[in-house]
Structures are given as structure tokens and as C-alpha cells.
Amino acid sequence: MDSTPVAWSNADAYLADLLIGHDPHLEAALSAQRDAGLPEIEVAAVGGKLLNLLARISGARRVLEIGTLGGYSTIWLARAVGPDGRVITVEAEADNAAVARASIDAAGVGDRVDIRIGRGADVLPSLVGGFDLVFIDADKESNTVYLDWAAKLGHPGTVIVLDNIGREGEIVREDSTDSKVVGTRDALRMLSEDARFDATALQTVGAKGWDGFALAVVV
């Protein structure tokens, strides 16, 4: 068995080819993001489709995304909510938001996506609640702040997806000084201890290496 990052990536490409295939709007969004020099940290194609399926399975009509980057995951979510649905996506960097805006509009879902520029801690208190699904994929140091807002802006049954919980296994290091690991561990502890959530977490290997996501419901 060849369990290496290259093999994980090859298998991910096989699955994406098979289950997603050629998608010009998503491919254009990735190209625009690369051309603009944004970091290559968007969700993998199979992860984007997972978000899309979770939104559809849960019947989500109002989606909150924290961390837009270039709008790749936003397009997956916007497609899921349908023409009468709404995605509010929060992005701290105005340059990223401009790239995202163009790609989301070009993908034909611009009328359902509202990009709010600013740091989550500043923008989230201004939002009206009632979100059916919240995708948290921003600065890991603020994960617990984002989970708190996800609960406040959600309702019983709201689906929460928290990205990047595996961190190449570093999450087991209780003495870690990596702020992203600390932020992730704090978030996982909150999902465990805070009675507003019921959660699990899955590690993943694939195009993004060894990582994972937490999946929670607001109870």
C-alpha cells in the first residue's frame, strides 16, 4: 500500500473526476484565485461538493460562510440554496472579496450571495440570525468566537461545518505553540463541552494533505 500525500492526491483527483467532473465555473474561480495570488487553501473539490450536499440534505435556505477567500466554496454553497436562498459570506481581506465577487457573479449565482467585508468579530454581530448552515473556514485563532456566533445566529438543527481540524495530526499536541493548532483544539473542546452543540469530527486525506473537518448540529 502506498499511503503517501501523492497517493492521497491522486485518489482525490480520481474521485473528483468521477463524481464532479468538468465544471467550468468552478475551474474559472480557481484560476482567478491563483492568478490573483491568493493562498491555495480553498476546500478540495470533493469537500466543496460535501458542503453542497450537506446544505441540500438539510434543506438549508440561509447559509453563513466565515472566510470567503476566492469564493470557491461560496459557489458550491450558493448552488445548494437555490434561487430563493441566500449565502452571506464574511471575508476580512477586501482584495480576496473582489476576486470572489467576480467569480461568484460569473458562476451565475451572484444574486444569492452577499459578501460582507471585515473581520468576523466585527461583522458577525451585525447579522440577523436564522442561518440553517454555517461553514467556518477563516483564521483558526478565532474558531471559538465563530462557533459562538454560529450558535447565536443559528437555531436548533443548524448544521455547522468547521474546516481544518486534522492539521496533520498536530491536534493531539496539548503543548503546541502553533496558534492555529491551539485555536483548533479550543474549538474542538468547545464542541465537546458547550451544551449548544453535538458534534463529531472526521480526518481526511486527499488533495489537501492530512486534515479534516468537524460536523456539528445546534441542539
The footprint of Mg ion (CB under 5 A) covers 137, 163-164
d(CA 47, CA 197): 22
By C-beta, is 103 or 143 nearer to ligand DHB?
A: 143
**Closest distance to ligand DHB from the beta carbon of 43 (Å):** 7
**Closest distance to ligand DHB from the beta carbon of 121 (Å):** 17
By C-beta, is 61 or 68 nearer to ligand DHB?
A: 68
Which of ligand DHB, Mg ion, none is residue 132 near (CB under 5 to 8 Å by kind)?
Answer: none
Which of Mg ion, ligand DHB, none is residue 142 near (CB under 5 to 8 Å by kind)?
Answer: none
User: Residues in the site for ligand DHB, rule: CB under 6 A?
Assistant: 41, 137, 163-164
Helix, coil or strand: residue 64: strand
Q: What are 64's strand-pairing partners?
A: 88, 134
**Closest distance to Mg ion from the beta carbon of 156 (Å):** 26
**Sequence-ordered strand ranges (E) for 26-98:** 62-66, 86-91
d(CA 49, CA 130): 23
Task: Give the CA count within 13 Å in the CB-facing half-sphere of 120.
Answer: 24
Q: How far is CA 210 from CA 3, 195, 203, in A?
A: 11, 29, 7
Q: What residue number has its CB nearest to Mg ion? A: 163
By C-beta, is 91 or 163 nearer to ligand DHB?
A: 163
By C-beta, is 159 or 162 nearer to ligand DHB?
A: 162
CA angle 178, 183, 186 (to 5 degrees): 125
**Closest distance to ligand DHB from the beta carbon of 163 (Å):** 5
